[in-house]
Amino acid sequence: QVQLVESGGGSVQAGGSLRLSCVASGDTDSVKRMGWFRQAPGKEREGVAAITTGGSSTYYADSAKGRFTISQDNAKTPVYLQMNSLKPEDTAMYYCAADTRSWSYGGSWFERREYNRWGQGTQVTVSS
């Protein structure tokens, strides 16, 4: 089993920055990829950024391109989401997710079903 704990959320003004962290524990050798998702009140959870274990490949939703950076030094270190030029529409609960299965659905890296381990979330609030 893999457990995920997020941190780094908070309240900032538009244009500001935050860095989210996700620490994985347990059977971390089973993690193939990790992602950051977010969910605003009344909206579906959506993928923001994803990374293969160790950081060799990264993927971004259109809403994150050019402003957010996902990173991980190696499989044993946290996954970070550096968020710059934040906008009020970035306000949401941000969740870290991990894929530890030996198979996948073969869908988009931003499909929720591609990840089977989830953290509890960290709140990001951006004021105008």
CA distances from 85 to 17, 26, 90, 125 (A): 6, 34, 10, 13
Q: What is the pLDDT along the chain (128 residues), one digit of tens a residue?
A: 999 999 999 999 999 999 999 999 999 999 999 999 999 999 999 999 999 988 789 999 999 999 999 999 888 899 999 999 999 999 999 999 999 998 888 888 999 999 999 999 999 999 99
CA distances from 86 to 2, 22, 44 (A): 30, 19, 20
